Chains A and B, each alone.
Chain A
């Protein structure tokens, strides 16, 4: 789960990580009032108006602007940015509507650093990554000049060792006494934050050194480990439903894992691996999957119905392929669920069903005798070919 920059910075502050003064704003009036308060508090007429969307690349997309001329200019920029359809490298061509702003004090920046903590799957440790090349596309830096990225791994028993933090500080040119003190404290706070908040990624890009020599987090990106949601009831308040696919959110509530894709063949599968495999085989036979959908291992009749409803929500769907390998799921129960759902929802697109596992004969019989236009498949390959053919035929007709 992702959160906004302003939310990440509020959390940073609790861990002693210096952030600029700022306030979130949900309207132009709020933005104007926030700018006024900031300018009064800092005595400097410069504020930054920042679009709050979950995707990165906001600056290049025109979602971050500096108002040097005080409150009136800040208001003008807020009017421009709020409500705009912000297109960045991460939003896709349709962009993301800006519904929240963050109004922040301007800083005199000397230089920009990159700092991030994330899980290194291969090493099974949390990795700290830092570079003097902050403010830029870090993936590009990693690709072109990997030697400019300094990485170290944290042993969970020891935690972040002070020598490791010092090593990074020297590598980043922050070896002078006061900067060393600020930086090591900041990295230590960031690691504590990562653990306590169950993060999977914390990224500060850029971490800036001001002209006065202070180190401040100018940006903040934080992603939580979804598996840890159960011990973080406070995440409910941080969630921004506008930033998430409504169908994916709804699916999650009923224990279904769903991801929308661009194609026209809806997939209803049990198990994440088989669900991916089903998308792959549809693609292999020349079709295009409309979604990834895993109903889970113990799907009930109700879940099967819900899954159909979600697939049919998209008017792109021109056919549905059900691919179930029943381990613990009984095929007759699944078949009854499919029949009930198709009848109730008045399904009008072709449906191909492949069932395997316990009570498979009984399951196929239920489908065959339902009187519905359900095509049965003998294997995954057979089913994929049948649904691709049916959808092509529908398109030609």
Chain B
């Protein structure tokens, strides 16, 4: 078991012929992901690497290849449109890797997805992986190992760090989800925690947040009320000064809100154990698992 994706997931990649898209399409195929179609308008009828059929629209890819999940590598200005297209084509899950989508585009996209069955992960995220079954995104596959820990994170490289630590301890992962660090994104911490909570194969969770906004505090309240499994957390950005944006569009302390201290306090109050440093994420969780 796992959440959201597994060995039967059929993936269409939007923007498969771009430099970035093609590079990662190859890596996903090599990992064993069922990449059943690619979409680049104007390239319909051709094949990617002589293997994967390409279509002009996501709708065609869904109809002809039975794709149910889309992964987007479309450049920022066209990415919001790509998400809408995937949702309209009936993809149940859309994973948007693209970094740098204008925030107002995402405000509209989120509004558009309200009431629709399509779930969105990202944008500006590494994607999702169920180890040894299905990798959709840009994470390095080889550091993962099949197992029972769920990982969810706003940060790509800190997810790898957590996974690397777990695997080094011989502990595998059920699924790892990067939700991205943009101010307006798709699934939030709570959406993913709900799934991990219900997944019988997930026995514990590492949650990685960062400064800015209030998502971690909301997640803490949800965990306090609902979570049945141990959770370890990390909040990145304790050393960040207020008013300075730290790479991610969302990672900024403004008006004294969204500080690491505020988030850590909320999480600890919810019974979450917060790792003292990013090097202790796996060991912190394992200390709860005994």
A residues lining the B interface (CB < 8 Å) = 90, 119, 121-122, 124-126, 139, 142, 155-157, 195, 198, 200, 225-228, 230-231, 257, 259, 261, 269-284, 289, 292, 294, 297-298, 325-328, 356-358, 379-381, 384
Contact = CB atoms under 8 A, between A and B. Distances in A.
A298 B277 CA distance: 26
Interface of B: 20, 23-24, 27, 76-77, 100-104, 106-108, 110-111, 126, 138-140, 142-143, 153-161, 164, 181, 183-184, 208, 210-215, 218, 234, 236-241, 243-251, 255-256, 260, 276-280
A89 B126 CA distance: 38
A257 B106 CA distance: 22
18 contacts: A124-B111, A139-B255, A225-B103, A225-B104, A227-B103, A230-B76, A259-B246, A273-B247, A276-B239, A277-B278, A278-B278, A280-B239, A280-B278, A292-B244, A298-B20, A356-B164, A380-B277, A384-B277
A117 B76 CA distance: 24
A256 to B, nearest CB: 10
Contacts of B212: 121
Given A124-B184, A259-B244, A273 B164 contact: no
Given A277-B155, A281-B277, 7 more contacts: A119-B184, A124-B106, A273-B210, A274-B157, A277-B277, A279-B240, A381-B279
A195 B104 contact: yes
Given A230-B77, A274-B157, A327-B139, A281 B278 contact: yes
A274 B181 contact: no
B40 to A, nearest CB: 20
A125 B260 CA distance: 24
Contacts of B278: 274, 277-278, 280-281, 380
A252 to B, nearest CB: 11
Given A276-B247, A297-B138, A358-B140, A281 B108 contact: no
A68 to B, nearest CB: 35
Contacts of A294: 247
Q: Interface SS of chain A: helix, strand, loop or mixed? A: mixed
A294 B210 CA distance: 15
B154 A273 contact: yes
A362 to B, nearest CB: 14
A156 B218 CA distance: 24
Given A356-B164, A380-B279, A271 B158 contact: yes
Q: Residue among B23, B161, B234, B241 with the most chain A CB within 10 A?
A: B161
B158 A277 contact: yes
Contacts of A379: 279
A275 B155 CA distance: 10
Contact of B238 (A270, A280, A356, A357): A280
B140 A327 contact: yes
Given A277-B158, A280-B236, A156 B111 contact: yes
Nearest to A292: B246
Q: Residue among B160, B218, B279 with the most chain A CB within 10 A?
A: B279
B238 A156 contact: no
Nearest to B213: A121
B103 A273 contact: no
Q: Residue among B104, B154, B157, B277 with the most chain A CB within 10 A?
A: B157
A126 B106 CA distance: 11
